[in-house]
Amino acid sequence: MPSNKSVSDAPITQFINCRILKEQELQSEDLWVREGTILNPERLFFDEKGYADTQIDCQGSIIAPGFIDVQINGGYGIDFSLATDNVKGGVSLVAKKILAHGVTSFCPTLVTSPPYIYHKVLPGISVQNGGAEGAGILGVHLEGPFISQEKKGAHPEQCLRSFQTGGFQDLLDTYGSLDNVALVTLAPELPRSQEVIRELACRGVTVSLGHSVSNLSQAEEAVQQGATFITHLFNAMLPFHHRDPGIVGLLTSDQLPRTLCTHGMIADGIHTNPAALRIAHRAHPTGLVLVTDAIPAMGLPPGRHTLGQQVIEIQGLNAYVAGTKTLCGSIATMDMCVRHFLQASGCTVEAALEAASLHPAQLLGVSDRKGTLNYGSDADFVFLDDSLNVRATYIAGEQVWKK
């Protein structure tokens, strides 16, 4: 039925000769965009008697929703966990560079740091739309400091904290503010953590379980209180044990609805053996979220760099805490992770692409506008060849990067 509203006369772009990812399959159809939003062509034709102002020949490209990275610590020499005089400028540099890897939205991630770092850095990072200047920011991911000492990984021990007498107030005092915070990773076995999880969830902050020695029942209780994610599954948690599978057991828990808990995976070929990737994918395919966990050394040559309070050494594709064999994030890009996940897991192309787009959007509660090519969604998408190499990146229907 035609709308009575005045119809926009903004220009319409039609992308032709492409396969678009829609409803779990690649479909040979055109993509229509107006005012940064994906259009329903039937309404355009029948209600508006409209047509395209511009046609773009995609030359057989796959068009997938733009990638969303919910765990990225920095890159290209920028460390999000350092209190520089130009926090905003550093985040903007990374936002610009990751367009080349198909990332259209991300969550700048801070590792465990002293309170003064959060108080200085967090006010400099705000939720914002992406564009030619860089990928959009969906909110900050705070990974720590409320994590397990035994599974701290590369997080500095002297900065770890627990919920003392104040409970949730301890968290607020440490961070200073939860404005523009999208995601918090904590260990659910810490005393008073369950009430903290409940309060974070009530405030609309996504809670993730990680860097933890939690048993399965503690993890299940955390999910019942509102936690919905597992930070880098298998890494920095108790290994799977048949009598108590720990956090890993959430993937097949019979105490929870299947849709309740999703899991991040660093598919860089180093953090997770291909067999473990396959286990995670087959146990809960619709809950798998690809993350880079990239550190400031991403995009830089081998050698010594920083990550928050630690010195990091890059050897080949491995990033270690200097002088140890403790892994500390990756130097992988999101498009690399998508390709490796496809090859290692044996999943479909569609599943690999959705793990980097739809699933992270669902995790953060933004899948009504991000992570899909549904009508009415933001026109954030990526052109890929058949090997899933990025050809071009678009935000709000405008090309922001081209190979």
228 and 119 inside one domain: yes
Annotation-wise, does 211 bind a ligand? yes
Domain count, the chain: 2
Annotation-wise, does 271 bind a ligand? yes
DSSP code, position 14 = E
Residue 205 C-beta-side C-alpha neighbours within 13 Å = 23
Report the catalytic residues: 293
The number of residues making up the chain comes to: 403
Distance, CA of 202 to CA of 226 (rounded, Å):
8
Other C-beta atoms closer than 10 Å to the C-beta of 165 total: 7
Please tell me the predicted confidence (pLDDT) of residue 51.
Answer: 85
Task: Look up the pTM and report it.
Answer: 0.96
Asked whether residue 266 is domain-assigned, the answer is yes
Q: What is the CATH number of the domain that holds 393?
A: 2.30.40.10
Annotation-wise, does 328 bind a ligand? yes
Annotation-wise, does 351 bind a ligand? no
197 and 320 inside one domain: yes
Annotation-wise, does 198 bind a ligand? no
283 and 379 inside one domain: no
Which amino acid is located at 285 in the chain? P
Please tell me the predicted confidence (pLDDT) of residue 396.
Answer: 98
263 and 305 inside one domain: yes
Q: What is the CATH number of the domain that holds 300?
A: 3.20.20.140
Please tell me the predicted confidence (pLDDT) of residue 258.
Answer: 65
Annotation-wise, does 40 bind a ligand? no
Backbone dihedral angles phi then psi of residue 338, each to the nearest 5 degrees: -60, -45
Please tell me the predicted confidence (pLDDT) of residue 2.
Answer: 41
Tell me the mean pLDDT per 10 residues along the chain, length 403. 56 97 95 96 84 95 98 96 95 98 98 97 97 98 98 95 92 98 98 97 98 97 96 95 95 79 94 95 96 95 89 90 91 97 97 98 98 98 98 98 97
Question: Tokens standing for 217?
Answer: 């029942």
200 and 306 inside one domain: yes
Complete DSSP assignment for 81-145: TS--TTHHHHHHHHHHHGGGGTEEEEEEEE-S--HHHHHHHGGG---B--BTTB-EE--EEEE-S
Please tell me the predicted confidence (pLDDT) of residue 207.
Answer: 98
Annotation-wise, does 86 bind a ligand? no
Distance, CA of 398 to CA of 281 (rounded, Å):
33
